[in-house]
Structures are given as C-alpha cells and as structure tokens.
Copies of this chain bind each other. A is one copy, B any other.
C-alpha cells in the first residue's frame, strides 16, 4: 500500500531519539477474554433494565427531562427523576453505530472506534503533576504544554486526552480554551473536549472546525471531537453532564458515557452489582444521545473498580478491576457499541506497584477489546497526579501491547527449516543468513527496558526504569517538533480564543 510505505519513509526521516515504534492504527487479532457466560450477561442486562424501570435515574437538566418525556419516559419534573421503559431504552440504544472514525486536523491521524480497533490515550484530568526533579506539585499550564508535547512525541498514543493536568495557574472559566489550543497546535492527533456543559463542547467543536478548515455542518458528518460524560453514581446525571451529551450528539460528535461505579461506595460492594448499575446508568446516557440525534456515534464507558474497605480509598488495577473491565467489554458488545476503559493504578510513586497495577489494567482493557484506553500514559495516584516518568513507562508498556497484537505469521520463511538444517545440532543461529536478513526488525526494541548484564548496567549508574524514564522524557521534549499549521488558521484560532475569552469574562463580570 503506497500510504503505508510513505509513512514508513517519513518515520525513517525523523531524527533518531529513544527507539520507538512508528505511529500506526492497532487491531487486536485475538478473541476477547470473556469472564461471564452469555446467560450471565443477559441476567445483568435484564437486571439493569429492571433498575431503570423500577428505580429510575435522577436527571438534573430540564432539556434532558423534556427529551425523555417526549420519548415516553415517566418523568417527575419536581423530583427531577425519570423511570424508563426497557423498550424505549433498547430501541434508542440500537440506533447507535458499532464503529465510527474520528478525524483530527491531520487526517493521517484519523482513528477508528469499534470492532477490534484499539486506541491509546494520554492521561486526562489530574490536579497535580510530578517528576523526579521537581517533585509533586499543583499542575500549571507549562505542565499541560509539556505533557501534550510529549503525547505528540510518543507514537504509540492515538489520542491526547482532555488535558493531561489541570492548569491551576489559569482562570477556571477560560482554561478549556487554552487547553484546547495546546492540543490543537502542539499535536495533530485527536483530543478529548471537556463535556461539562454546552459552552465547552461548542468551543471545542468550533476550534476543531477552524483547524480543519471546515464548517460546523461538515464536522457533524465527519466527527472530530469526543468527550467523556460521567454519571454521578449512583443513578444521578448532573445538569452539565446531560448538557454535554445533548450538545455533542446534536453536533454529530461522539460522547463516551462512563458511570463512575466504585464497588462498595457508589455502587454495590459486589462487582456484579456494580456492573448492573454501571449498565443501567450507561444505557440512559447512550439512549439520550440517540434520542437527540439517532445514529450519532457514542461509546459505552466502564470505570467499575473497588474501594479499599479499610480506608474507603479507591483501588485500581485490582483483580476486581480486571474482571469488571472484561465484563464491561462483553456488555458493550452485547449492544454493538464501542467500548472505553482505562489504564489505571493507585500507587503514589512510579515503582513496581505502579507497573503491576497498570499491567493488570492494560491486559484486561486490551483483552476486553476496549476501543479507547483512556489514561493510557501518565496516570498515577488513582488519577490525582500526572507523572512525566510514568508517561514514559506507560508508553513502553503500550508499545509492548501493540507488538503483542501483531499476529505471528506462519510460512516457510518464518518456520526457517532451512536455517535449522544448516545450523544443525549444537550450532548457533547468530550468523545465519536467515538471522542476518531479519535481525534488525525481528524483535521489539525497548525504549525503557535495560537488558544489559548486571556489571554493564552497574557501570552505567545502576539506574532504575523510573530514572531512565526521566532521561527519556527530557530527550523527547528536547527533540519535540511542533506539527505545522497554516498561519491563517493559527490567526483564526487566536482570534476565536480572544473573542471567547472576552465573552466569558464579560459574562462573569
């Protein structure tokens, strides 16, 4: 394919830095792990519809109540509450597409959600940032910029997330504009918008439309913006969240509906109960998107984990989390919907715990066929902190999963029987033609892992993986190249941001 080979040539021209795999779309060729039987999935499905029929959900948004009332739901406006017939919910959910494409300003970075497509995203949302040199501190805009630059450098990341850290040095009402601007100008990948209310969503759509040089009508037919809406579990959707769903759907952009169901806190202490509640809550948000705009893309989000019952603290990357992620994938596939999950851990430091909890998450997200693995790189401390070193170690782990997903080819050439015959008993394969023809590309070349022997590693300073990651992010930042943008578009973006800031500040005054 000419497109692929031209991509390869470009990848070779990039100045050499830490070894990386090229940017590429990923598909998981293996069957998903199923932790529940089809019957068990039906039982959870049925239970969650029962929850919607008999208990119902709070909808703290007049427009959402209007939409559901018009569709036949039993809405109590005084209580801001609704109950839903299962037919209403299932008919609406069935209108959602199984797969869709997201196109950023660089169409070569377009990605597919659904099926066995796997996309990795940058951490989004922490209040703090940390690295080995500066320690843990409140996030500032300079962190936002650097972490977004790193996400552009790391080929394995498909999406930039919704801002890797809160820029606490910027005014809250207009922060989203600065973060969008960084995502749009410092990267050419898909980014998440903040789906908190009408304005932040429309700002994102307008800014991406400017960057792509297309209209709002055109972007509605070619989605670019994706946003996460959380249910305020149990069973409550706040006003800005429902506005987010409505605005994204109305503009043809996908929403990721993600209940935040920590078992034992915001949902039953049993993972199966938490999944039933997650499913009920997700189906309401998904149905709303389809009532607003039938056929608009939407993603089933799962974020079921458990709390530490001693302290009430959330736990991540646990065995329970792994099972919930895999079961969540089965539920999403039950409705033929794309699936979102996360690469999470609860460690306070980039150590073995951070790595093994992340791997528990990663294996279950990948083998659960999550299409969007949010917080793929950089998440630490249960999501309270974005870590520069964790971002690099995560990128290594993501690259390893990406290589794991490259299927083995069985052919005469790969069986290498001639090489086995040539080498014969007791020989070695280092110098054979079969090896020489392949050794440069035969195996995954790591970015962080150090395979040198102990003595050589010791002479080089006995650095841990986390210490090596510190050097790698600095090298990547030093080599960062901003993806080009037409100056006319830059000016239009700047003008848009200036106008919107003035409007928002005038409203606040």
This protein's copies in its complex = 2
Least distance between A344 CB and chain B CB atoms (Å): 12
Chain B residues with CB under 8 Å of A88's CB are none
Interface size on A, residues (CB 8 A): 123
B357 contacts A449, CB within 8 Å? yes
A435 at the interface (CB under 8 A from B): yes
B353 contacts A465, CB within 8 Å? yes
Given A235-B425, A415-B47, also A264-B443 (CB < 8 A)? yes
Chain B residues with CB under 8 Å of A435's CB are 264, 268-269
B309 contacts A420, CB within 8 Å? no
Q: Nearest chain-B residue to A453 (Cβ)?
A: B313
Return the contact of A353 from the options B232, B384, B442, B450 (Cβ within 8 A): B450
B420 contacts A273, CB within 8 Å? yes
Chain B residues with CB under 8 Å of A393's CB are 352, 356
A354 at the interface (CB under 8 A from B): yes
- Most B CB contacts (10 A, CB to CB) among A404, A457, A466 go to A404
Q: Nearest chain-B residue to A401 (Cβ)?
A: B319
A171–B138 Cα gap in the complex (Å)? 59
Q: Nearest chain-B residue to A389 (Cβ)?
A: B352
A91 at the interface (CB under 8 A from B): no
Return the contact of A236 from the options B421, B425, B440, B469 (Cβ within 8 A): B425
Least distance between A52 CB and chain B CB atoms (Å): 11
A272–B412 Cα gap in the complex (Å)? 10
Q: Which of A27-35, A109-117, A241-249, A294-302 contacts B (4 or more CB under 8 A)?
A: A27-35
Chain B residues with CB under 8 Å of A363's CB are 359, 363
Q: Nearest chain-B residue to A81 (Cβ)?
A: B425
